[in-house]
Structure 1
Amino acid sequence: MSTAIRYCHITVNDLDESLAFYRDGLGMEVLNDVPYGEFRWVTLGDSKQPGAAIVLSEPHAGRSQADGDTLQELLTKGVLPMAIFSTDDLDTTFERVRGVQGAEVLQEPIEQPWGPRDCAFRDPSGNMVRIEQAKG
């Protein structure tokens, strides 16, 4: 038996602004862009990791007004769980993400005492995103 992550949802304020961060900055590919009424869900992934993807959506997409409002409040506070990505070239990835409008550098690349070399950003919606490169 095997269990693997298939999708991880990331709540964002503006899908197009977020696409610049995740697609252009992190280099992910748009796998699906599904409109539904006034909302849409965008799935992104990497061909080197088939079967694993992130889904971007706005706080009210597919949720009740009250749940969407609560999620929007948490997003605005910057307290939603972080996402951690890995790369085989941290310096190039860092520079590419830093160049994306709305990306806020929280930490430049450094060696961490627990192993990886990593950096941190806030995406245009305020989500913390860490990017690491394993030793070796």
Structure 2
Amino acid sequence: MFNAITQSQIFVLDQDEALDFYVGKLGLEVAVDVDLGFMRWLTVCVPGHPERQILLEKPGPPAMSEETAAQVRDLLTKGAMGGWLILSTDDCRKTYETLLARGVEFTEEPTERPYGIDCGLRDPFGNRVRLGQSNAFGTDA
């Protein structure tokens, strides 16, 4: 039946600021940036892997009323609505140091886990991002 998950979504309050963070600091690349008139369809992906994209969606029409969008924005700014992403890396500690030098603020330093090494950060909108390096017990998928 299904053969892939091609897109996931997180809410952001400002798509240009999201680009600065996800592309400028984290090093992802723009997959699609299209003004549809009623919304901006903006996705990013791991460089060279456009088959899996993250939609950086600004809350609002057409997906929701302006009243609901205001509630979502309020919850997002309080850290209660944020989504989450897990990005894999071959070297979590090196990636941590690289991103730290770019000004990324982490909520958790690289930590040994049963499945590998991971660390955590939040984007400017409260979405949680984890960086993970799998070991023999983890998965690479």
TM-score (norm 1): 0.83
Tell me the CA shift for residue 23 of structure 1.
Answer: 1.4
Q: Helix, strand or coil for the counterpart of 1:124? A: coil
Distance in 2 (CA, whole Å) between partners of 1:12 and 1:96 is 24
Which letter does structure 1 place at the counterpart of 2:97? E
Provide the residue aligned with 2:66 in structure 1: 65
How many equivalent residue pairs?
134
- Structure 2 residue runs without a partner (length 5+): 137-141
Judging changes above 3 Å, is the alpha-carbon distance between structure 1 residues 75 and 99 closer, same or farther for their aligned structure 2 residues? farther
- Is 2:96 aligned against 1:94? yes
Larger RCO, structures 1/2 (Cα 8 Å, 6+ apart): 1
Provide the residue aligned with 1:35 in structure 2: 35
- Structure 1 residue runs without a partner (length 5+): none
- Is 2:13 aligned against 1:9? no
Q: Helix, strand or coil for the counterpart of 2:87? A: strand
User: Displaced runs of 4+ in structure 1, greater than 4 A?
Assistant: none
TM-score (norm 2): 0.80
Deviations along 1:52-93, one digit per CA (max 9) or x if unpaired, are 110102122533102211211221121223211111122232
Provide the residue aligned with 1:77 in structure 2: 78
